[in-house]
Amino acid sequence: MHGLIQPHGGALIDRVRTGDVLEKLKAEAPSLKRIDLSAKQSCDLEMIGVGAFSPLDGFMGRSDFESVCKSMKLQSGDIWPIPILLAVDKANAPAIGDRIALHAPNGALQAILTVREVFTHDKKLEIPNVFRTEDPAHPGVKQVLDEGDTCIAGPVEIVQVCVDPSGPEAFLDHRKSPAETRKIFNNRGWRTVAAFQTRNPIHRAHEYLCKCAQEICDGLLIHPLVGETKPGDIPADVRMDCYNVLIENYFVPERTCLTVMPGAMRYAGPREAILHSLIRKNYGCTHFIVGRDHAGVGDYYGTYDAQLIFDDLDSINLGIEPLKFEHAAFSKRAQGMVSSKTFPKLEGDQIFLSGTKVREMLKNGERPPGEFSRPEVADTLIKWAKNAG
């Protein structure tokens, strides 16, 4: 029997320190220059530390940064679509060889970094290549514009993995590292695992994609992103309640796994779809569900651009199989979920609701139709919408 899929780059990175080494880092930190991280940087640091960003062992240097922007590859030749940078103000930049203490937005000591390189943050190279737009209204573009103009590169040593373990989005019982999810898959005898990326509650169309994937693979990893998202997105704790009630009532628990991915959204559409697939490869998944407008925002990307980008890549280097799905909806005529691949499009047949309409219904205490959302999920969202005012 074959083992689990190899991590990206061949080895799973682990930069989390324990025991005597950890105690020495804690003792050293007060004497070091302090860098306060943004929410995105703090998320990236955790992803590096636990191996979700393997083969990265720290924040990128100039050569990897430029190669990623221009060719979607690290200097090693491994596919990598989005720069992972520690950008600071020039006045706050350390010297090469320094060790610096990295603190999370809440002030907690998160890691210590050994400075290997300091270089100028070339935003004019990064922004149009990564986001395919330079519009400052794009949340990912704005994020980069607001960052510092100097980048610090070097390996990290993690002092604290979850920097706010008592916070509402800690989910310690579901916060599994790639090494831990691989152990779960191994113990369950799963050799093929499909990952479902989400930053929204799972409605009937998403459920349909997940169940199609379950017919193909041994297991399904529902892997919601709980790192930084844009204002207006439904809070992670509410979404987790939705996932739990859905799995309990409509999935086979032995074939379904729910853990969280503490990454930050870039809303970079096609390139972010590649990043999300590589992350899931590191978590032990062999297949990755790519739906309509994956990781998109507004009208910056074509409906299926995030699927088409996989066709331009070396599938051997990528190493994880994309499962490309069309837009799905409930058909009154077919009495079930359909897509343009499986059922002819008939005038007025499919039940489709805009996000605005759904939010309006929830706020008024109205359940969206059962063909759109499972009642248990709708009830959870109604409760949140009412409390949110």
Q: What are the catalytic residues?
A: 199-200
Nearest in space to 189 (alpha carbons), one of 137, 244, 257, 115: 257
Going by C-beta distance under 8 Å and a sequence separation of 6 or more, which residues neighbour residue 311? none
Token code pair at residue 19: 């025991």
Token code pair at residue 219: 């297991």
Token pair 């920097």 is found at 163
Could you tell me where the beta strands, DSSP code E, fall in the chain?
33-36, 58-59, 87-88, 99-103, 109-114, 117-120, 150-158, 193-198, 219-224, 256-258, 287-290, 321-324, 328-331, 336-339, 350-351
Strand 219-224, strand 256-258: pairing: parallel
Distance CA(220)–CA(199), nearest Å, equals: 17
Strand 58-59, strand 193-198: pairing: unpaired
Q: What are the angstrom distances between the C-alpha of 239 and each of 130, 188, 236, 244, 354? A: 28, 26, 5, 9, 18
Q: Radius of gyration of the chain from Cα atoms? A: 21
Distance CA(301)–CA(331), nearest Å, equals: 27
Strand 219-224, strand 193-198: pairing: parallel
Residue 26: phi and psi, rounded to 5, are: -60, -40
Nearest in space to 165 (alpha carbons), one of 152, 155, 174, 178: 174
Contact (Cβ atoms closer than 8 angstroms) between residue 19 and residue 332: no
CA max distance for the chain = 69
